[in-house]
Structure 1
């Protein structure tokens, strides 16, 4: 499938859009769901290009003049279900470190606020909870997930990567087939822009609530891109957790079953 330049919407000559005309009639007839796939790609494209965190950063680019702490970040990057969340929460007890909050990364299009702003933090958390409580089916799923993975105020920084369009289902063990989309995401997809965005977002948080010592991060996704992670954070300190495979697999299956219902 080829790509063409889209100059019809907002005159963004550098935008790349997938069109149905790029498919042959044979492909359209054989893959009747092609329109759904194209719409999905377009949705991802729009979510990345229209990311409204980026505009305020350009307008207030003083964030790039403030350096991140010289220590770290300290990154917990073991495989999922190996005790990373427990370790992450224990390390977060250090009052000299700073950990991204769930409300830092999951409330759309808002400026960062310090942890000390308890009223603002509660307001953002209430905004996140209200639609979940209205959706009875989703609430049931969240209850099942909580039995396998408790919810905490702090959260892993994979939420930052998702904002840049990097959706990697790293919790699953891969069959390592070269033709799978997961394999392409892990091995072929250029991750430079993802970690460019990650560093920009972290700098934005750093301007309003800098740690006394270091940032603490955690995501199993980082194991697929150590080279990119270390390019952006050359002082990073990595922690790899380990657990017996016969314990990891049942734990992963339990969480997956809770998620899919």
Structure 2
């Protein structure tokens, strides 16, 4: 399986020769100033955000970025800063945005590769529901004119097409569409998602001490902007990252409901490691699969343990457990009951739409992976996850 294209390899080689010496301090200062200038925003109120993101920026620099990785981090950092300044500027100019009620949102979470994306797409497509679109997560704003909308969508499409140019296999791993719902990670600045491109021990240590309260408050602000002046709908959101912060999630969004998808972690781990290897090869000079396996086994088993430990603190009925097979193999039987527990209504239109969603082709065999490639074996995975497999097995009976 070819993870990155010849184009990516040539691109990295040429830039390594012509790119010159990188100056992180100068690059960071320029990023912040460019983002402020582009949005007409103000850094006031974003001091902690800027300082925290600089930690992440430095950790990426220290990890051994390739030329392509350097360009990617520069572009992403600027985009996130611009979006931050845009959102806060809008709220400062229109204080009524901060009064918007984000009512009973639904958060889909669970280990990666457990049908979280499929579940998210199904629920978000129901009448009265709405998921944030990928282009909106990059350009979070009030309603804009058609020309501005088209321009922004085109820019995001250019980014996603560029990714596929450098790694065609990514379309099989996690396809990205500018006008379809995507994950909260494009708003949440920090979390395990940032480690899909690099081994960053210092960042992991920093994350362990990081207070995510402001990060989730910012997610709420982004949703308030996106719903202000638009028809009201129930937000349907998704990322595996939420497993680490279920208690904070329900505090930030009172009345929230959580759909937790489950699958045998042995099946999960190989797929996750394959994704991480691919994204790391795009960003890093050196990638060792045997480093990826143990790191991500610890990340995901710890997230699962943390999520389960938090359950007693959540309101009764806040979490709906959904086994992988229920949504991937027989959603017609299981989803009506899930909707009922979420306080939503399953309709004939949902059933008809589901028929089309499930008419997807069998996964392309070019995306293949084995645990052993990442220094793991099934027994090792099951030991790390403890009795979680018993829960998964119980749900599938």
TM-score range, shorter chain: 0.5 to 0.7
In the alignment, does 2:270 pair up with 1:250? yes
Residue 51 of structure 1: SS of its match in structure 2? helix
1:49 Cα shift?
11
Of 126, 146, 159, the match for 2:154: 126
In the alignment, does 2:74 pair up with 1:52? no
1:83 Cα shift?
1.1
Task: Give yes or no for contact 1:171–1:252 (8 Å, CA) kept in 2.
Answer: no
In the alignment, what sits opposite 2:293?
A: none
Q: Distance in 1 between matches of 2:228 and 2:47?
A: 31
Of 149, 168, 189, the match for 2:192: 168
In the alignment, what sits opposite 2:206?
A: 184
- Which is richer in helix? 2
In the alignment, what sits opposite 1:103?
A: 135
- Larger relative contact order, structure 1 or 2 (CA cutoff 8 Å, min sep 6): 1
Gapped regions of structure 2 (runs ≥ 5): 1-32, 34-41, 52-57, 63-72, 283-397
Residue 87 of structure 1: SS of its match in structure 2? helix
In the alignment, what sits opposite 1:89?
A: 121
Deviation string, structure 1 residues 25-79 (Cα, Å, up to 9, x no partner): xxxxxxxx99x66xx9xx979949973321121111111233223xx21100111
Task: Give yes or no for contact 2:142–2:229 (8 Å, CA) kept in 1.
Answer: yes
Deviation string, structure 1 residues 184-210 (Cα, Å, up to 9, x no partner): 31x310111111111111111111334
Task: Give yes or no for contact 1:170–1:221 (8 Å, CA) kept in 2.
Answer: no
Q: Distance in 2 between matches of 1:223 and 1:88?
A: 15
Count of aligned pairs between the two proteins: 214
Q: Distance in 1 between matches of 2:150 and 2:82?
A: 28
Q: Distance in 2 between matches of 1:155 and 1:181?
A: 24
Task: Give yes or no for contact 1:74–1:239 (8 Å, CA) kept in 2.
Answer: yes
Residue 107 of structure 2: SS of its match in structure 1? strand
1:132 Cα shift?
5.7
1:84 Cα shift?
0.4
In the alignment, what sits opposite 1:196?
A: 217
Of 102, 105, 114, the match for 1:73: 105
Deviation string, structure 1 residues 190-249 (Cα, Å, up to 9, x no partner): 11111111111111111133434x110001111111222111112010111111112101
Change (3 A) 1:124 1:48: closer
In the alignment, what sits opposite 1:216?
A: 236
In the alignment, what sits opposite 1:112?
A: 142
Residue 235 of structure 2: SS of its match in structure 1? strand
Change (3 A) 1:215 1:92: same
Of 169, 174, 180, the match for 1:149: 174
CA RMSD of aligned residues (A): 3.8
- TM (norm. structure 2) is 0.46
Task: Give yes or no for contact 1:74–1:238 (8 Å, CA) kept in 2.
Answer: yes
Change (3 A) 1:132 1:206: closer
Task: Give yes or no for contact 2:164–2:171 (8 Å, CA) kept in 1.
Answer: no
Residue 76 of structure 1: SS of its match in structure 2? strand
Task: Give yes or no for contact 1:98–1:210 (8 Å, CA) kept in 2.
Answer: no
In the alignment, does 2:100 pair up with 1:61? no
Q: Distance in 2 between matches of 1:125 and 1:253?
A: 30
1:121 Cα shift?
4.0
In the alignment, what sits opposite 2:165?
A: 140
- TM (norm. structure 1) is 0.68
1:139 Cα shift?
3.5
